Amino acid sequence: MKRVGFLLKVRENMIEDYKKHHQNVWPEMKAALTRNGWHNYSLFMRPDGLLFGYLEASESLQSSIKGMQKEEISHAWGEFMAPYFEIPEGSAPDQMMFEIEEVFHLD
C-alpha cells in the first residue's frame, strides 16, 4: 500500500452542495473505487474549499486513477462533479489532483 495525499479546490459557492453529494456517494462508485485500489479514502476541506484527499493506494495514485478510467460509473461521477471544482473547463477532476509528498508518518 502507498499512502497518498492530494489537493483539489472546490468552488466556494458550491461547498455545501459538494458536501451533500458526498454524504450519498453512489454505491456503484464506492464499489469501483474499492475495486481499483482506493482504500481508507477520506476527504477533508477548509472553509475556503481547499480539499485534501487521503487514500491508501494498492500501487500508486496514478494506477488507481488509471483503473477508474475504465469504469463507466467513474466517468458519470466525474462529469457530475466537475462543475464543483476550480479546474479548467473540460478537465476531469481526477486528472487535476495535485499529489503531495509525504514527509512524515507515525505508525
CATH number of the domain bearing residue 51: 3.30.70.100
**What integer pLDDT is reported at residue 92 of this predicted model?**
79
The reported pTM is 0.89
**What integer pLDDT is reported at residue 88 of this predicted model?**
84
Region 17-46 average pLDDT: 97
Boundaries of domain holding 27: 2-100
Q: Which three cell numbers stand for residue 83?
A: 462543475
Nearest residue to 50 via CA among 18, 22, 75, 81: 18
Q: Is residue 30 part of a domain?
A: yes
Domains of the chain: total: 1
Q: Is residue 105 part of a domain?
A: no
Q: Is residue 27 part of a domain?
A: yes
What stretch of H or E contains 75? helix 72-81
pLDDT surpassing 80 at residue 26: yes
Q: Is residue 106 part of a domain?
A: no
